[in-house]
Amino acid sequence: MKEILVRPERCVGCRSCEIACAVEHSQSRDLLKALSEMPQRRLYVEHVPEYSLAVPMLCRHCEDAPCVAVCPTGALTQDALTGVVRHNRDICIGCWTCASVCTYGVIGRDRRARVAIKCDRCPDREVPACVSACPTRALIYGEVEEVSRARRAAPALKFAQGVAASSR
Amino acid sequence: MRMTARIPTVCPYCAVGCGFYITRNGMEYMQDHPVNEGALCPKGNAALDVLNHVDRLRYPMMRIGDDWIRVSWSEALDRVAEEMQRALREKGPGALAFLGSAKCTNEENYIFQKIARLMGTNSIDNSARRCHSPTIIALRRMLGTPAMTNPVSDLALSDCIFIIGSNLAENHPVVARWILRAKDRGAAVIVADPRVTPTAWLADLHLQLNPGTDIALINGMINVILNEGLENSSFIKERTSGFEGLDLSDYTPERVSSITGLRAGDIVRAARLYAKAGASSIVYCMGITQHSCGTENVTACANLALVCGHVGRPGAGILPLRGQNNVQGACDMGALADFYPGWRSVDDSRAIDELRRLWNARALPLGRGLTADMMPEADLRFLYVMGEDIVNSHPAVSRRRERLKRGFMVVQDIFMTDTARIADLVLPAAAWAEKEGTFTSTERRVQWVSRAREAPGEARPDLWILSEVAARLGFDLSPEPEEVLAEINQAVPAYRGISRSNAGARGGIIWPCPHPDHPGTPVLHTERFSTPDGRARISPVHHPALERTSPQHPLILITGRVVLHYNAGSMSMRSEGLVKREPEIRIDVHPEDAARFGVADGDAVMIETRWGRARARAKLTPRQKRGTLFMPFHFPETNLVASEIIDEKSMMPELKVAACRIWRAD
Amino acid sequence: MGKIYLDPERCIGCRSCEVACEREHGHPRISVDKVKDLAAVPVYCHQCDTAPCAAVCYTGSLRLDGDMVVFDPDLCTLCGLCFVACPFGAIELDSVIHRCDLCGGTPVCVMTCPTEALQLEDIDAITGSTRSRAAGVLAARVRV
């Protein structure tokens, strides 16, 4: 299954992902019209000054999700096929147990609806809004195995070149 | 009585020394107290139940046959003095014995031991005998000062915390607060305990070792540290002596693994974590002391800290967690058969002479007196018990309680405990919040406690009672706590600068406090140790012969505490909120052992050691180590089966291991 | 005002919260569950933002008020629907309803908890600090 993978070293802290997320989940789905709705984002760009980095923090849709485990009403469930953790606003009681156990702190509070708010992986899109919006490709959307394979290629090549050089 | 809305006090239960306020109708939390910051364990929360309890002793009573007759204070006090003097006259000072109280104030313990010594005997002891007497012996010899080297809050500064033989999450819950703060900073926590206790829940590495194999574990860790060059050579060279005598080459990880039942890799990992951390602390308690090799166990703990230089700095220390609200103080005041006030050995005639001059006495006794466990066997004519339920706190005494009353027995307490029940005369004492004086917590913190309630009936502060007894013996001893504290300033060097003023400030003052303007000494041994040459003494110790199981007694019984109760239970068992949550004794059994012996959860079982038998309910739990059982000692049944083997150096009974068997009671 | 939050890694199962709550209110509104003797979890009222106890209360005795669920005993008929509706089991009932009112603002369970497992806090503050701590850990790994 495809995951949203984060490369913090590419993040410039522009927050385009946050805006895109909020707009995607608004009624109007248009940037200018959405301003009057004040929709909420479901991902968060955290600045870490000690390392001069900005780190996008998003829901990982964990395989063994603590939020799903603690939800007392079953509002949070995990899709067996895709692994996506879904949130049903209708049966959410706003108890915030999920938010308090989330290791990444990425479950938020919809203050108007008085229920939880979290990433849904943009079910109506092919590519999640945050990924599409990211100008530096700090957020990428792909299969974990493919991304890992791509990442292995460059250092593997270097290693091979090194071995070849030393055996000459 | 002051009309203030809330009066600051210190919890009467354990030695963490938590502060809270007593109000007219209840209690309030003291959020600016440096140790507990307002928090309290369940016993602290229930502390006030003791004050108004219907069982409180209200007037002096004399036993006539099987009945208790109320008598006046003057008749009771006259009788105490008469009997004491008669015993002295007829059989000499060896016929007298005194049991001081780890729950009474410093002033009270000081006066009590003074009376005993002026009457010519060193037979005065307190419950520390069954708690940290090995700590007293070992740390005094090795470091010079028999006490915790760093304050509790320092644990938050440690990078590695090694907890061995302590279930502090149940028995000193507020200490866990500071350990969690260390964990928030990334500190590593190692817990060595045969059981999976709530303390072990906090561990990054839980060493579930076989009972009684602590020396092997620690020596194994030191072996790794020396082999990998992780010792602190400059600290060893500049601040210790005796390192050359340390040959632990036998304690390879493999050998230690077979003794302790631990994985060799875990022993290595523990050693590296402890040694490599910037500041490491060792926290230990009864799992280390309550063994026939208790003194050696403490020695091993101190060796580990010294070899790695983890003493004498913030976050790096040796932390024995004391048990009672004033056990440290009772010991500092010399309510011990082997020490006078200020840690003067009973064999040190020169040091004792200082006190002789201070007290204007002709002579003072030398040599160790009777310790608590020796009292039932001695030919006593007079026994004075202040604030301890010895019958329920010592297995040897428990089994032979009738022998305590070969002579005249006086018990001064707040309840009619099982010990009071066998006395000839019972004196009603004021509880902690009904009198004034100082208590010294486990971290050497001396705190003044103010009177917040009236004592019931005719109950009086122990200090008043003792001063009245003393007067009838011909000694002029003041009943005013501040005056007694002023004398303590002269008798106990570490308390020289302590007064109501600094002890009464928020958080009191940590000794040594050599003069009134001194801020106190939270961290000891920063420049030098308090030994004669200023160096700490490393002493090799070796893994001893163990209490062995046999075909007849194939399991090991471990005794210990639970969070909701306290020691012999005279206070906590009278607190409804605590009793309803932990109403009866149960034996923890691992499900596999239970299956072996045909025991189901909740069955009534008999347990037998070679000392005796008892009946309890079995509780099957995965947290018990296979091959071991656990019984809490707050219930009298545990005394029936606990061991009487003694650590000769400290006179500590081996309460943590006894070979046993169980079967279903029918 | 905030609500009560639990850091489950900090609970040592001492039950001080229970004893304190019982002392203050006569009947405790919090209880500690031991999970196979290997962990402990307090069960407490979450003051849910869309609380089912308030949703089922047909007399309005339990109702949402800002960040809290408030209780008016005079309107209570002891029907017990709230007791059934609470998914945590944080409401008990005998001759009256026993439910948490945050002690009017300074909950004793929070004040007394030896290990700071129980906190009184706004959820955004909690998630915010968890998130920035986690981001710090990730940043440290990236920079290595």
Which residues in chain C touch residue A18, judged by CB atoms under 8 angstroms apart? none
User: Could you say which of A72, A99, A104 has the minimum Cβ distance to residue C88?
Assistant: A72
Q: Are B160 and B187 in contact (CB under 8 A)?
A: yes
Residue C19: count other Cβ atoms within 10 Å of its Cβ. 27
Enumerate the domain spans of chain A.
1-58+124-168, 60-118
Which residues in chain A touch residue C133, judged by CB atoms under 8 angstroms apart? 105
Q: Tell me the three state secondary structure of residue B118.
A: helix
Q: Are B466 and B437 in contact (CB under 8 A)?
A: no
Q: Please tell me if the domain spanning A1-58+124-168 has the same topology as the one spanning A60-118.
A: yes
Please give the backbone phi and psi of residue B611, each rounded to the nearest 5 degrees, phi first.
-95, -25
B378-to-B373, B404, B421, C120 alpha-carbon distances in Å: 10, 9, 21, 58
* DSSP summary character for residue C73: G
Structure token pair of residue B187: 């500190």
Please give the backbone phi and psi of residue C4, each rounded to the nearest 5 degrees, phi first.
-80, 130
Contact C134 A48 (CB under 8 A): no
Measured CB to CB, residues of chain C less than 8 Å from chain A are 3, 5-8, 46, 48-52, 64, 87-88, 123-124, 126-136, 138-140, 142-143
- C136–chain B Cβ distance below 8 A for any pair: no
Enumerate the domain spans of chain B.
6-50, 61-118+350-502, 133-320, 555-664
Helix (H) or strand (E) run with residue C42 in it: strand C39-43
Q: Tell me the three state secondary structure of residue A26.
A: coil
- Per-residue pLDDT, B306: 98
pLDDT at A168 over 80: no
Contact B169 C12 (CB under 8 A): yes
C89-to-A98, A164, C118 alpha-carbon distances in Å: 17, 68, 18
Residue B582: count other Cβ atoms within 10 Å of its Cβ. 19
Which residues in chain C touch residue B31, judged by CB atoms under 8 angstroms apart? 111
d(CA B223, CA B206) in angstroms, rounded, equals 20
- Per-residue pLDDT, B4: 64
Fold of A60-118: Alpha-Beta Plaits (3.30.70)
Angle at the Cα of B592 (from B591 to B596), degrees rounded to 5? Answer: 115
- Per-residue pLDDT, B1: 46
pLDDT at A167 over 90: no
d(CA C11, CA B249) in angstroms, rounded, equals 41
Contact C123 A96 (CB under 8 A): yes
Q: Using a cut of 0.90, tell me whether the model's pTM lies above it.
A: yes
* DSSP summary character for residue B14: B
d(CA B51, CA B429) in angstroms, rounded, equals 11
Q: Which of B45, B180, B201 to mutate to test the interface with C (most CBs of C within 10 A)?
A: B45
- Supply the CATH classification number for the domain B555-664: 2.40.40.20
Measured between CA atoms, the residue of chain C closest to residue B49 is C23
d(CA B446, CA B513) in angstroms, rounded, equals 10
- What is the Rg, in whole angstroms, of the alpha carbon atoms belonging to chain B? 24
The four Cα atoms A110, A113, A117, A123 give a dihedral, to 10 degrees, of -140
- Per-residue pLDDT, B3: 52
Q: Are B645 and B589 in contact (CB under 8 A)?
A: no
Contact B173 C12 (CB under 8 A): yes
d(CA B490, CA B492) in angstroms, rounded, equals 6
Which residues in chain B touch residue C13, judged by CB atoms under 8 angstroms apart? 169, 198, 563
Contact C50 A99 (CB under 8 A): no
ipTM field: 0.95
d(CA B264, CA B164) in angstroms, rounded, equals 18
Q: What domains sit in chain C, N to C, each tagged with a CATH number? A: 3-143 (3.30.70.20)
- Per-residue pLDDT, B406: 86
Q: Are B206 and B217 in contact (CB under 8 A)?
A: no
Instruction: Convert the pLDDT of each residue in A44-86 to its tens digit.
Output: 999 999 999 999 999 999 999 999 999 999 999 999 998 999 9
Count CB pairs under 8 A between chains B and C.
85
How far C6 CA lies from chain A's nearest CA (Å)? 8
Contact B201 C38 (CB under 8 A): yes
Which residues in chain C touch residue A100, judged by CB atoms under 8 angstroms apart? 5-7, 123, 126-127
User: E strands of A1-100, at which residues?
Assistant: 2-6, 44-48, 53-57, 76-78, 85-87
For chain B, list residues with pLDDT below 70.
1-4
Structure token pair of residue B167: 């279930």
d(CA C114, CA B35) in angstroms, rounded, equals 10
- C116–chain B Cβ distance below 8 A for any pair: yes
Structure token pair of residue B267: 């022993």
User: E strands of chain A, at which residues?
Assistant: 2-6, 44-48, 53-57, 76-78, 85-87, 108-110, 115-117, 139-143
User: Could you say which of B45, B176, B577 has the minimum Cβ distance to residue C12?
Assistant: B176
Q: Tell me the three state secondary structure of residue B379.
A: coil
d(CA B385, CA B458) in angstroms, rounded, equals 19
Q: Tell me the three state secondary structure of residue C120.
A: strand
The CATH number, out of the four listed (3.30.70.3340, 3.30.470.20, 3.40.50.740, 3.30.1540.10), of the domain defined by the range B61-118+350-502: 3.40.50.740
Instruction: Convert the pLDDT of each residue in A76-128 to its tens digit.
Output: 999 999 899 999 999 999 999 999 999 999 999 998 899 999 999 999 999 99
Per CATH, is B133-320 categorized as 3.40.1010.10? Answer: no
Superfamily assignment of B6-50 in CATH? ADC-like domains (2.20.25.90)
How far B180 CA lies from chain C's nearest CA (Å)? 7
- B202–chain C Cβ distance below 8 A for any pair: yes
Contact B42 C10 (CB under 8 A): no
Q: Are A108 and A40 in contact (CB under 8 A)?
A: yes
The CATH number, out of the four listed (3.40.1130, 3.30.1490, 1.10.287, 3.30.70), of the domain defined by the range A1-58+124-168: 3.30.70
